[in-house]
Amino acid sequence: MSKNDERYDAIVIGSGFGGLYALHHLRDTMGLKVRAFDGAGGVGGTWWYNRYPGARVDAPSSPFYAYTFSQELVNEWEWTETQTSQASVLAYLEHFAERYDLMKDIQLDTWVNDAHYDEAAQRWTITIDGGETVSAQFLICATGALFVANKPDYPGIDDFAGECYHTGRWPHDEVSFQGKRVGVIGTGSSGIQAIPEIAKQAEHVTVFQRTPQYSLPARNRALTAEELAGYREGWDDLRESMLRRGGWPFKTIRRNASDYSVEERHEIYEALWEEGGIHLAINSFSAVLMDKELNAEVSEFVRGKIAQIVKDPETATKLMPDYYFGTKRLILDNGYFDVYNRENVSLVDLREDPIEAFTAASVRTKEGEHAIDILVLATGFDAVTGSMLNLNPKGRGGVSLQQKWEERFETYLGTTIADFPNLFMIHGPTSPGVLYTMPLGGERTTQWIADCIGYLKENDLGAMEATDEAAEKWDREINEMAAQTLYPLTDSWYVGANIPGKPRQFLAHLRGSQYFDQLGSVAQEGYEGFVFEPSREKTHENAVSG
Ligand code: NA7
């Protein structure tokens, strides 16, 4: 039996970076009554689930892949490496939840099985595990951009009798690869981070690769005490700079390739490769993601590096990507290409030698059979849209999100959806999300959402909703922005190409700081693109008291 006596101002779904900050900000800064729910057994979201060996932040990190709003928080957390490990990010998020006393308002191990909008009450009601219902005026979906694991459906895969793990659902108990024959499917960030670690233990690792990748050396190293102290000291300025510069505090180099000779350009590529991280993409030449010829030159440079590192020429050739550099998620690795120089690692190129079926103890490809004890699926996610479609909220007139997004993932400002009043997404489709520094993006989006809520309250309004026209216009803008780049030309999860049948659409806003300026101006100019309803609760109270 269900009961409906839990009423909140806001419900937050998810307790990763976005959800934890939303709970803190809405509760502690706005004074709202908030409750958060998460199906996981701990806080951390993506960082709770993705605990495979070698998991690290794949963007410029310590101390910038973290909350930025509090100098005290910056001062008290001791980051130790330049490329933060999963364990360290998770410990930080647990510390954050404890420090701000968030746990008392988070219900873990609790799935939200349904969410529907009640037009008359101007409220969202959710049904959680056990059938209990809880309602709130605002539904904040911090459900994660990389949440719904993509599991391949090869014939017989479920008959495989050995251990099988998806990188995005890694077990909490330690997995031992000692003396085991391991098959890894997938060479995105997760596969490329995990493979060198697994190879250290396993008897043999067979990598099944569908698409070779441009992976750049992470050059992870200890973060010195002086560096950290310097960042802390200059935090206000660094933060200011992050706000202005797409989430990254340091100036990126803007130069025209045509001002340099081919030799000079190669010297620049060499220097940036040595420096490591994503510098080759962001600090080489401005047009690298727009100009096909320039991109081809950088692509060739990386292929040359792969040829230098990997000793067996046949394996090196298989590892060479042929799509536009940087148009799939750039990967930062710690010894990935080197791993193929080990005797216990071999590569199967699925484009030449596809998987035909699994047996209880092997993977059968067109050209052979590979006996394995453990199967690691590093096959990624139904990214950006999957977790919202999984939740499948029902909006105005009972319309479900799955119906709404059947053909296109239309949002307004990447945070709201027409027909879904008072529902806000953090890192939703067409927000900068996965292409921005996510913790900061979550902070800034939440602050905007909080302003919307404040505006409604100040003006005795009960609901706000994006119009279809605004959503369509926004959709065109995002598309046009992406069309100026090479991104849409590549099959990647940015365009949904990794999930069979998913509508193809570029899913991110490409200019983070401009995006947050846009959010700011929409608020300043009275929320163009939204319609509002007076608060029925207030009218009701007036009627009662009057
Ligand atoms: P990704 O980046 O989506 O990588 C998944 C990998 O798995 C990629 O190499 C895929 O090949 C491969 N894949 C997916 N399905 C299959 C099937 N059916 N057969 C063979 N290979 C397959 O996911 P990650 O978890 O590595 O990283 C996700 C993000 O998390 C990452 O970008 C970071 O931001 C953190 P494909 O390239 O699609 O041909």
Please tell me the pTM assigned to this model: 0.96
Packing angle, helices 292-309 and 262-275, rounded to 10: 60
Question: Which atom number of ligand 1 is nearest to the Cα of residue 329?
Answer: 32
Distance of CA 92 to the CA centre of its chain: 18
| Ligand 1 site, residue 189, Cβ cutoff 6 A | yes
The three-point CA angle 44-46-48 to 5° equals 50
Stronger pLDDT, 538 or 394, i.e. the higher one: 394
Percent of the chain past pLDDT 90, that is, above it, reads 95
| Ligand 1 site, residue 498, Cβ cutoff 6 A | yes
Using most ligand atoms within 8 A of CB, pick from 83, 209, 216, 329 the residue to mutate for ligand 1. Answer: 329
Using most ligand atoms within 8 A of CB, pick from 210, 352, 355 the residue to mutate for ligand 1. Answer: 210
Is the per-residue pLDDT at 542 higher than 90? no
pLDDT band (50, 70, 90) for residue 4: low
Tens of pLDDT, residue by residue over 144-163, are 999 999 999 999 999 999 99
Question: Which atom number of ligand 1 is nearest to the Cα of residue 379?
Answer: 7
| Cβ-contact 194, 167 below 8 angstroms | yes
| Ligand 1 site, residue 408, Cβ cutoff 6 A | no
| Ligand 1 site, residue 58, Cβ cutoff 6 A | yes
**Rounded distance from Cα 273 to ligand 1 centre (Å):** 24
Helix (H, G, I), strand (E, B) or coil at 67: coil
pLDDT at residue 538, rounded to an integer: 53
Ligand 1 atom 31, closest CA: 189
The three-point CA angle 405-411-414 to 5° equals 130
Is the per-residue pLDDT at 436 higher than 80? yes
Q: How far apart are CA 147 and CA 387, in angstroms?
A: 6
**Rounded distance from Cα 536 to ligand 1 centre (Å):** 47
Using most ligand atoms within 8 A of CB, pick from 56, 385, 498 the residue to mutate for ligand 1. Answer: 498
Element (H, E) at 376: strand 374-377
pLDDT at residue 309, rounded to an integer: 98
Q: What is the dihedral of CA 222, 224, 229, 232, to 10 degrees?
A: -20
| Ligand 1 site, residue 379, Cβ cutoff 6 A | yes
Region 474-486 average pLDDT:
97
Q: What is the mean pLDDT of the chain?
A: 95
Tens of pLDDT, residue by residue over 195-225, are 999 999 999 999 999 999 999 999 999 999 9
Q: DSSP per residue over 154-204, as a string? A: -TTGGG--SEEEEGGG--SSPPP-BT-EEEEE--SHHHHHHHHHHHHHBSE
Region 71-77 average pLDDT:
97
Q: How far apart are CA 81 and CA 190, in angstroms?
A: 19
**Rounded distance from Cα 71 to ligand 1 centre (Å):** 37
Q: What is the dihedral of CA 516, 236, 251, 246, to 10 degrees?
A: -20
Region 254-263 average pLDDT:
96
| Cβ-contact 430, 508 below 8 angstroms | yes
pLDDT at residue 303, rounded to an integer: 98
Ligand 1 atom 35, closest CA: 189
pLDDT at residue 391, rounded to an integer: 98
Q: DSSP per residue over 486-537, as a string? A: SGGGS-SGGGTTTSTTPPP---S-S-HHHHHHHHHHHHHTT-TTEEEEE-HH
pLDDT at residue 1, rounded to an integer: 38
Region 246-273 average pLDDT:
94
Backbone φ/ψ region at 542: left (φ over 0), alpha (ψ -120 to 50), beta: alpha
pLDDT at residue 58, rounded to an integer: 87
On the 0-12 / 13-18 / 19+ scale of CB atoms within 10 A, 542 is: exposed
